[in-house]
Amino acid sequence: MDVFAIACVIFSITGFLLLQRYADTRSQTWPLLIAGNTKLPGNATTSAAVDFPDEQTIGIDSSGQVLLNDAPIDAPNDSDLPTLTDTLKRLKQNAENAKTTLLVTIASEPKAPYFRTIDVLNALAAAAIDNVTFTVDDGL
């Protein structure tokens, strides 16, 4: 007899024994298995299309450090931002594959150097991302 077949039989028997052991505390286990009604809920339908954007936040702190979703990315003195650019390209491709809209919000601290905002905009342009919004953290 095949080892895999023996393992399948043992797996089936132990699964059956576990179902039998916990049947007292889970009264719906056996009727659902017998009836074959083990279908999980599916997707809900709506009357109108719902568009959920894929939103990413790029932060710029006062030292010039760029943050993608609050995680530091690239060095504060690197104007090319290669890791950010590559990551944005992947995010753009993922959004296109999922047929969602990629929205990027640039949130900079009031004392953040302006040239870092330009560096971030250059990275966004290299990734062909054009849905960009700005916000400034005013410390409130």
Mean pLDDT computed over every residue of the chain? 81
**Residues 44-86 pLDDT 10s:** 555 555 566 678 999 999 899 999 998 999 988 888 899 999 9
User: Which token pair is 115?
Assistant: 């040239």
- Shared-domain flag, residues 65 and 101: yes
Neighbours of 83 (CB within 10 A): 16
Task: Report DSSP state, residue 44.
Answer: P
User: Could you give the C-alpha distances from 113 to 6, 22, 60, 66, 121, in angstroms and in order?
Assistant: 67, 63, 8, 11, 13
- CA dihedral sign, ordered 120, 125, 128, 131: positive
**Residues 75-132 pLDDT 10s:** 888 888 999 999 999 989 888 887 888 899 999 988 888 899 999 999 999 999 989 9
What integer pLDDT is reported at residue 140 of this predicted model? 45
* 106 within domain boundaries: yes
- Shared-domain flag, residues 11 and 67: no
What integer pLDDT is reported at residue 19 of this predicted model? 74
* 127 within domain boundaries: yes
Neighbours of 122 (CB within 10 A): 15
- Shared-domain flag, residues 128 and 70: yes
What number is the average pLDDT over the span 6-18? 88
Could you tell me the residue range of the domain that residue 120 belongs to?
A: 54-136
